[in-house]
Amino acid sequence: MSSNQVSLVEAVRLAALQEMRRDPTVWVLGEDVARGGLYGQYKDFLPEFGAERVVSTPISESTIMGAGLGAALVGTRPIIEMRIFDFVMCAMDELVNQIAKIRYMFGGQAKPSVVIRMPHGIWRNSAAQHSQTLESWFVHLPGVIVVTPSTPADAAGLLVTAIRSDDPVLFFDPKNLFPITGEVASVIEPIPFGKARRVREGRDLTLVSWSAIMPAVEQAAAKLAAEGISVDLLDLRTLWPWDRDAVCASVEKTGRLLVVHEAVEAAGFGAEVVASVVEDLGPARIRAACRLGAPRIPVPFAPPLEDAVKVTPDKIVAAARATMR
């Protein structure tokens, strides 16, 4: 199978394009999608699919979310575009009380087969209302799948899986990684939810992360390797379901765990990973289990302050050294 070197934003564009060509019930709605989307993720969709399948909406997130759910319930597969994650807060009732619960409350007769795309995370100088990383909110929400890719190939394959899913999928596009490039197959195959990607093999420390922070984590792992610390690095790719077995197997080998995320450390998903591993393996089989996240403050606008709150490779290296002591 042939492949191409493309950016992450082009990878998800190709995945959506493939699925809309394959299945006429797939369509997209959201602000500016007919113009190609805020990041170009729907570029040239309107000429091919027309205004009935590429629907630019008014600026009303609750309307967008509710319309997508209604369309799913009558047999279509909408891609609901939120433009920036922070805007989903304007549609929380439709998401939390309707989309996440309707399949359960109707005894499985209703299929809310929607993909809600929410580009999230720090984006340079976007300030507190456009830079949030709140994936742990939605892991806590029964009824939804939470997807957090970090590479072009994973983003494309996971988006294909999401579009074909009968369950609602929250797809956290890592907007800060949209420019990065990688190999993506010409025919994009679905990647199963709940399967971590092993980035590098190691014996001394299990390092777990996901989404936009992964490049920083990989840099830290390389620096640690140069210091003689062998890192077993896992990218979870999805937070619900998540690959608990792979993480536990790695920690059983290394004896030490460090979970790193861009989100605020307090009540972040790292705490869930650490607690789960301790429960499964027991404290006697773990020498150290730690987490690293951002401080519990809004993301500042000023570049020096934004830099100060970011989880950086140097901070990850320092946390790893502390975990090894």
Active site residues per annotation: 130
Q: CB of 175 within 8 A of CB of 148?
A: no
CA–CA gap between residue 268 and residue 252 (Å, rounded): 23
Which residues neighbour 320 within 8 Å (Cβ) at sequence distance 6 or greater?
205, 207, 220, 224, 229, 231, 258
Round to whole Å and give the CA distance between 88 and 68. Answer: 13
Output the DSSP codes for 30-58: ETTGGGT-TTSTTTTHHHHH-TTTEEE--
d(CA 310, CA 76): 40
The CA distance from 264 to 294, in Å, is 4
Backbone dihedral angles phi then psi of residue 114, each to the nearest 5 degrees: -115, 150
Alpha helices for 141-243 (secondary structure H): 152-164, 214-226
Cis peptide before 241 (omega within 30 of 0): yes
- How many CB atoms are closer than 10 A to CB 79? 26
